[in-house]
Chain A
Amino acid sequence: MTTYSYILLIILCLSLVLFLRYCWRIIKSLTNNRIEARKENKRNLFPLVCAGSYISGYGEEGVSASIDINHFYTPEGLEINPKVYKQFVVTGNSMSLCGIFDKNLLFVSKEFSTNNLIDFPKILVIKRRDAHSKEIQFKVRRTWTRCAITDDLSIILKQIIESNKFKNVLSADECPTKKELIDDFFDIRLKRYKENFPDAENEKSEFHDIIISTTWHTDNEKGVRFSIHPIKDIVGIVEYSFTVPQNLLN
């Protein structure tokens, strides 16, 4: 063998060693990735939505069951196509009277139009106007009616309070008397709304059309209160709520 052949042989052996080292590095990385991928396979990140008052200490997103691999059914047993809904993860138990609990996965219709707001009450996901970045950006509310800010709100409130469906709210321990609810609405909620949106009474204002919802406050105010939101802040109507198996969340 010539010197040239020896050099060639050394180069080839060296290439082979480098190739094997390259494969080893890939395999090591692949093994770690597979463990992570298998773990994350059944879970996804979704935007968080707070039930009731804003709860601090959470980011914008929370973990819940993956919509790619898990199967979702209506209470009647019909399979749901998750792709046609937006998903949110609930924080807080303030919507438990509606059957929505902490860590539930919400399916909200993707195609929302104000024309869908015909029959009430409805459970809506609403954008939090005062949310900072890296905070929960949405809230979920039971909404009782839509109207204009210039309508006779005392009549509207009376209709809500006396409706059959509102009896459920009134019977809850956390609910104050009818008078307290109405006083709170006019003295605090309506006043605050008009302060925040001074042009709301102008018919052309985007804050003119409102929804009236109830919130179970878990902050300093404690108890059930009415609240007012501009229609433009509505993200969608909650169609389904799922209690995800605990072992999927850990």
Chain B
Amino acid sequence: MTNHNIHTHCVPIGYAVIWGIGLALSLFGLSIFDDNNHSTEFIYLFSAYCVFSIFLGEVVLSFIDTAAIHEKDRIKGTVFWIFARFFIIIISTLIISFLFYKFKYSFLLLLLVGIMCWLKWEIAHLNNNMSEYVIKEEGFTIIANTLKI
């Protein structure tokens, strides 16, 4: 499996699979919990997490794709600031979800959606500005010998 194959074939297949899972969840997922034994908050969170999980799957694929495209480049250390923000977003999502489930404040659900959108922005921004985070490999300077003709 070459990096070119990963970029041109494997990653698109991965996207299709993850979207397939996403569609299956959105079409049938809610019917799993339609037995009136679950709270509205649970159903809201389930919907939000379905979309969020699919997007996390996409994030994984986009990282793989970036690694395949920039196979020869070195990555700048500044990219770890973005990774740090990813973790903040994911941890915040878990905490706010818990708070929403526990205290049922509507604004927490809006905050949750906002934070999930923040992750979308981070990943889209990273993909479109990847050139700022890579160092192109510098070549050697080679000087010709003087030909003694």
Residues on A lying within 8 angstroms of B by beta carbon are 1-2, 5, 8-9, 11-12, 15-16, 18-19, 22-23, 25-27, 29-30, 33-34, 37-38, 41-42, 65-66, 69-75, 77, 80, 97-101, 104-105, 107, 121-123, 142, 165, 168, 238, 240-245, 248
Contact = CB atoms under 8 A, between A and B. Distances in A.
Interface in B87-123: none
Nearest to B147: A99
Contact of B64 (A23, A101, A104, A122): A23
A26 B65 CA distance: 10
Given A1-B32, A9-B32, A33 B145 contact: no
| Interface of A, helix, strand, loop or mixed by DSSP | mixed
Given A19-B14, A69-B137, A99 B148 contact: yes
B129 interface: no
A34 B6 CA distance: 12
B17 A26 contact: no
B32 A5 contact: yes
B67 A23 contact: no
A27 B64 contact: yes
B33 interface: yes
Given A26-B64, A30-B3, A73 B142 contact: yes
A194 B141 CA distance: 47
B85 interface: no
B10 interface: yes
Interface of B: 1-3, 6, 10-11, 13-14, 17-18, 20-21, 24-25, 28-29, 31-33, 35, 57, 60-61, 64, 67-68, 71-72, 137-149
Contacts of A9: 32
12 contacts: A22-B17, A30-B3, A34-B3, A65-B142, A70-B139, A70-B140, A70-B141, A74-B144, A75-B144, A98-B149, A99-B146, A238-B147
B145 A15 contact: no
Contacts of A19: 14, 17-18, 21, 57
Nearest to A142: B149
A41 B72 contact: yes
A156 to B, nearest CB: 19
B24 A122 contact: no
B28 A15 contact: no
B92 to A, nearest CB: 23
A15 B17 contact: yes
B64 A243 contact: no
Contacts of A238: 147
B25 to A, nearest CB: 6
